[in-house]
Structure 1
Amino acid sequence: MSGWWLWGYVAAMAAGALLFLRWWADPKGVPSVEYRVALAVPVWSGLWYTLLALGGGRTDGGGHPVYWARYADWAVSASLLLTALALTATHALPHRHPRLLTTLVGANLVMILSGLLGDLAVDPWSRYLLFGFGALSLLAILTLIYGPLRAVARRQPTELYRAYREAALLLGALWLGYPVFWLLGPSGVGLLGGTTDTALFVLLSVASKVGWGALDLARLRELGARHELPLGSTR
């Protein structure tokens, strides 16, 4: 049953990639970098989940399977999603604030690494300690998104700031599901079975990657079609 969920995920990523390619052909004033980042997410993620669907990308974690391919996917795809959010926050600004983005990506990598090491840990105390590090890293990411990055986004025209605020709230809400499912699944207390765990992560990841990316781009495309994107935003 898990295999069907994994192949369904691969199909969803392929559909998302085709959608972003189609939109890129008619950019509506949105810069190409936004499309490249959005496209890279489903392409990268779909490749790793293809490996999982074929039976690879996993190892034994002391009584439960550890899907290390998920972490390889998240390390890059989650960083790209943060990049997309930062691009929305700085869409009409002369600077992209690379230090802030670097901090966000660094916190994301710490979060993903903590989750992987916690998944591999045999001792329960070590596992939950590492889970705690990951949770703190997620808290740091959300603090940066709703604090400094939001302050940067506020310097933009009202409609662009609203687009950032909506995207940030949705991404944060979706990402909170990951530690909850991790904790409840085989990696944590084991209240969820393997198939249920896979299904929940698949649905959440489709919503976080293709769903969120499509909504973010659609908002920018709408503003571009209404000629409300500043002329300098087509970098």
Structure 2
Amino acid sequence: MTPQFWLWLGFAGMSVGAALILFIGKSRTRAEETDTIIHGLVPIIAACSYLAMATGQGSIALPAGPDAGTATRAFYFARYIDWSFTTPLLLLGLANTAMHSGMRRPAIVWGMIGSDLIMIVTAFVFGLSQVTWLKWTWFAISCGAFLAVYYGIFVQLRQENARERDDIRATFLRNAVFLSVVWLAYPVVLLFGDDGLGLLGPALGLGIIAVLDLTAKVVYGLMATVQTAKRVDRDIAQGIGASPARPHLAAAE
């Protein structure tokens, strides 16, 4: 498999995934409409990133290493732009699940998003760096910010989620574990890929990240959208938060 194969596969998979999420997503309540938009936007943004990388507009050539002579490597900067938008959206969606009855502590969400952006920006600088000690300093800072995101998910969000009913607590924990396990593989791939130690090779590194991206953005998005519909079904059955997202349409009906 060539690098181009994985990039075009990422574009096609994200495009189809976005269409599926927006097709099955509902908007019976404001919360459900918000979740549908969030999980639909994520693969749309990623599809644009993969299109840019596949056509050569989302990468630049950098020296393969300090002692590589004229050898170069492709640095895919578009993926960092993608992650800067999509991972905050995924965290926002996860927070909406955790605090299903209302966004009680937005500061938690802003803290996670801030840590997430620090993680991505420092990983971007890590990929650009040619000086060895600076490169690995940025990688260490990025990993530290990553741990702060995990703290926000599994300590702060989970504390708020404990106030919700049983099915919402189970859904949040399942989503948090799924997303966190997938995300955990990213720094490992960056470490061993072309931006780090260069042990994976261009095609394998791109292939792994493409599979991870499709899992985190499409598979997770479909799963979260279906679970949101089930929660809203129960809300409506119990008369909880049943105000429609588009009340003028409800009135017309």
TM-score bracket for the superposition, by shorter chain length:
over 0.9
Query: Which residue of the partner structure matches residue 2 of structure 1?
Result: 3
Query: Which residue of the partner structure matches residue 14 of structure 1?
Result: 15
Q: Which runs of 5+ in 2 are unaligned?
A: 65-72, 246-253
Cα distance in structure 2, aligned partners of 1:191 and 1:44 = 29
Query: Which residue of the partner structure matches residue 33 of structure 1?
Result: 34
Opposite residue 33 of structure 1, the aligned amino acid is T
Q: Is the 8 A contact 1:61 1:121 kept in 2?
A: no
Cα distance in structure 1, aligned partners of 2:57 and 2:38 = 26
Cα distance in structure 2, aligned partners of 1:229 and 1:189 = 55
CA RMSD of aligned residues (A): 1.7
Give the drift of 1:232: 2.0
Query: Which residue of the partner structure matches residue 77 of structure 1?
Result: 86
Give the drift of 1:28: 6.2
Cα distance in structure 2, aligned partners of 1:147 and 1:70 = 28
User: 1:96-144 CA distances to partner (integer Å, 9 max, x unpaired)?
Assistant: 4221111111101100001110100001111111000110111110011
Give the drift of 1:56: 1.4
Opposite residue 177 of structure 1, the aligned amino acid is A
Q: Normalising to structure 2: TM-score of the pair?
A: 0.87
| Residue correspondences, number | 233
Opposite residue 83 of structure 2, the aligned amino acid is W
**Partner SS, residue 9 of structure 1:** helix
Of 86, 92, 98, the match for 2:106 = 98
Cα distance in structure 2, aligned partners of 1:75 and 1:106 = 10
Q: Aligned pair in 2 of structure 1 residues 130, 229: CA closer, same or farther (>3 Å)?
A: farther
**Partner SS, residue 65 of structure 1:** strand
Structure 1 residue 196 corresponds to structure 2 residue 196? no
Cα distance in structure 2, aligned partners of 1:16 and 1:176 = 22
**Partner SS, residue 87 of structure 2:** helix
**Partner SS, residue 191 of structure 1:** coil
Cα distance in structure 2, aligned partners of 1:69 and 1:148 = 31
Opposite residue 152 of structure 2, the aligned amino acid is L
**Partner SS, residue 241 of structure 2:** helix
User: 1:58-84 CA distances to partner (integer Å, 9 max, x unpaired)?
Assistant: 123322221110100000001111011
User: Identity of aligned pairs, percent?
Assistant: 27
Cα distance in structure 2, aligned partners of 1:221 and 1:23 = 9
Q: Aligned pair in 2 of structure 1 residues 230, 53: CA closer, same or farther (>3 Å)?
A: farther
